[in-house]
Amino acid sequence: MALRAPRGTEDLLPEAYANWKFLTERADEIFSRYGYLYIETPLFEHLDVFVHGIGESSDVVSKEMFRVLSPDGYSKVAAGKAESLKADQRLALRPEGTASVVRAVLEHSLIMPGSAPIKLMYSGPMFRAERQQRGRLRQFHQIGAECLGAPDVMADAEVIIMLMEFFERAGLKKDSLTLLINTLGDDNCRPQYRQEIQDYLLKYKDELPEETLRQAELNPLRAFDSKIERVQEIMADAPLLKDRLCDECKKHYEELKSYLDAAGISYEEDPRLVRGLDYYTRTVFEIQVKDGLGAQNAIGGGGRYDKLIEISGGKPTPALGFAVGMERILLALEDQEALPAHPRQKQIYVAYPNEHTKAEAFFVVQRLRSEGFVVETDYQGRSLKSQLKLANKLQVAYVAILGEDEIAQKSVRLKDMDKGTEELVAYDNLAAHIVL
């Protein structure tokens, strides 16, 4: 059997890499203006980072994590002794970035008493054992940003504005996106509401599938996210948190909206938006593309997670962030025919007629490269005629021919392929002659 990439993974081929680079550069350009600096965390972490950081009730933790085993750990599992794995042998590929960033920030004590908010951005692969579909992969890539230490609602607004600016700069049409916002309350108002939803769900106990009953136990709000039709019907009549918010949360949410209004950002309020992860408090948001991506139409989302740092062992630190899916943004750009063109850098082809001139050609190739040009030459023993044909096919800007006569004069015969002109140019004058 021919070897293939694993299901749910994609090779990033050179052609697509330019789009990739384009996206990360746009993120870098926009986010850095807001003070974000890059962080890179390991692709795998201790399992507990995600179990504590994301929450046991989330699909990501309960069903989708890829475990990582060292050879020792593998032997234990293969021998049916998984329970004897030590804590540091229980590892998982990261399914998202926030929990890892928080772990790194705490490990390196980046938040000191009295310090300004820490603003960090990242990009890279994430891993979830999901069923593959268009826009849903098992290894996918996110760009994310986390702002730690900012309780003010201005930070919520700023993060959303920055994200919308990024989508626009990436080339997505403004009216093709829907920004959904909601608030999930805080420790004051959410516990009573959580209880209310749990009681509400348990009224339908006999009709609920196992999975929803488990959710009802661990995080009943997640039932709003359910894909199961009967659960959706039940949740359509469920009480909403927006009618139960405490004054502080109400104020926070109203202020968020007024900042977004002032910035001219359109949004839709979705009182049922809870998002899949357990750690959010107050603001949550999601950006969807209106057409094309079907069920996988969320291109990014995030929210405030004021409790996460404390849960992870740090001092209580209000924080918020988001992540966007690179593959989905690129699919949306493709659907909108908005992918940028990436013209290749213009090249010079150094052609030589035979073995005797090869060493000198090699010298000229290297010299031109050291002068900053993109240079190709022949490595296949082609005839001069066939080299010139190839250069034409490559649409190079110049061909530099190095025959014996030219070499004797420390010169090349430089053909300007656009103008169709040709002249003898000394090596020393080449750089000045080439106009790209």
Near ligand AMP by CB under 6 A, which window of 40-48, 72-80, 137-145, 383-391? 137-145
Q: Residue 119 or 138: which CB sits closer to ligand AMP?
A: 138
Stretch 235-294 residues interacting with ligand AMP (CB under 6 A): 276
Edge to edge, the sheet with strand 91-93 lists 44-46, 91-93, 67-68
Count, residues near ligand AMP per rule CB under 6 A = 18
For the record, the structure tokens of 76 come out as 């234990």
Interaction between residue 221 and ligand AMP (CB under 6 A): no
Contact predicate 292/335, CB 8 Å? yes
Q: Residue 122 or 427: which CB sits closer to ligand AMP?
A: 122
Residue 317: which residues within 8 A CB-CB, separation 6 or more?
111, 148, 149, 306, 309, 310
Contact predicate 266/287, CB 8 Å? no
> Residues 368-407 vs ligand AMP: string with x where CB under 6 A?
----------------------------------------
Q: Residue 117 or 276: which CB sits closer to ligand AMP?
A: 276
At residue 319, φ and ψ (nearest 5 deg) are -155, 165
In whole angstroms, the minimum distance from the beta carbon of 136 to ligand AMP comes to 4
Q: How far is CA 48 from the centre of its chain?
A: 23
104: left (phi over 0), alpha (psi -120 to 50) or beta: alpha
Binder of ligand AMP out of 55, 117, 149, 300 (CB under 6 A): 300
Q: Residue 130 or 211: which CB sits closer to ligand AMP?
A: 130
Q: Residue 159 or 324: which CB sits closer to ligand AMP?
A: 324
Near ligand AMP by CB under 6 A, which window of 79-87, 298-306, 337-345, 364-372? 298-306
In whole angstroms, the minimum distance from the beta carbon of 11 to ligand AMP comes to 15
Residues paired with 351 in a beta bridge? 401
In whole angstroms, the minimum distance from the beta carbon of 160 to ligand AMP comes to 14
Q: Residue 124 or 353: which CB sits closer to ligand AMP?
A: 124
Q: Which amino acid is at 217?
A: E
Near ligand AMP by CB under 6 A, which window of 196-204, 217-225, 299-307, 360-368? 299-307
Binder of ligand AMP out of 31, 50, 140, 224 (CB under 6 A): 140
Interaction between residue 136 and ligand AMP (CB under 6 A): yes
Class of residue 339 by CB neighbours under 10 A (exposed 0-12, middle 13-18, buried 19+): middle
Handedness of CA 311, 182, 197, 209 (dihedral sign): negative
Q: Residue 324 or 397: which CB sits closer to ligand AMP?
A: 324
Binder of ligand AMP out of 179, 221, 231, 323 (CB under 6 A): 323
Interaction between residue 299 and ligand AMP (CB under 6 A): yes
Dihedral (C-alpha) 4, 340, 38, 98: value to the nearest 10 degrees? -60
Interaction between residue 301 and ligand AMP (CB under 6 A): yes
Q: How far is CA 246 from the centre of its chain?
A: 34
In whole angstroms, the minimum distance from the beta carbon of 149 to ligand AMP comes to 22
Handedness of CA 287, 125, 102, 63 (dihedral sign): positive
Q: Report strand pairing: 411-416 vs 298-304.
A: unpaired
> Residues 95-134 vs ligand AMP: string with x where CB under 6 A?
-x-------------------------------x-x----
Tell me the C-alpha distance between 302 and 287, whole Å.
9
Query: What Rg do the C-alpha atoms of the chain give, in angstroms?
Result: 28
Handedness of CA 192, 197, 202, 204 (dihedral sign): positive
> Residues 324-353 vs ligand AMP: string with x where CB under 6 A?
xx-xx-------------------------
Tell me the C-alpha distance between 314 and 118, whole Å.
14
Interaction between residue 142 and ligand AMP (CB under 6 A): yes
Residues that bind ligand AMP (CB under 6 A): 96, 128, 130, 135-137, 140, 142, 276, 298-301, 323-325, 327-328
